Amino acid sequence: MERVTPPALRASLVLLGAAAVLSGCGAGSPDPVTDKDATLRLTLGDPEYAMSPGAIKVRSGPIRIVARNEGRLTHNVKVEEANDEEGATPIVFGGTETMQPGETAPGVTVRLFPGRYRLVCTIGNHENLGQYAELEVTRAGS
């Protein structure tokens, strides 16, 4: 007997697959954007729950974050340690206030040392939906 997938389930599976492709699941990380002036200019949106650029490289020291909410929901940006340990509570190094749709958060400055960090939206499950970016901080002289 042949299994028949109901149209609604089939449509849901197609949308989930498309979301995985758009969020970068299974694909290599994009080449990082190398920041030149220690100001991270980010955009956040929905319904795709994206943060752009998705990978950034910057030198250590004071880093200014300027974020614009181009979505229809509220968003924020927090700088967290990159921790692959499941269930671990990440250390937050700073971030923006919550932005309403169309708002740009006032620039906030954080001081970061060389290492890997994540920029995440901590509202609801936005990070789980793909609203995050990878941040690599290099030595000031590199």
- Tell me how far apart the alpha carbons of residues 59 and 34 are, in angstroms, rounded to a whole number: 9
pLDDT tens track for 62-77: 999 999 999 999 999 9
CATH topology of domain 30-138: Immunoglobulin-like (2.60.40)
Q: Is the pLDDT of residue 5 over 50?
A: no
Regarding pTM above 0.95, the answer is no
pLDDT per residue as tens digits for the range 31-61: 778 777 889 999 999 999 999 999 999 999 9
19: confidence class by pLDDT, cuts 50, 70, 90? very low
Residue 48: how many other CB atoms lie within 10 Å:
13
Structure tokens at 78: 């927090």
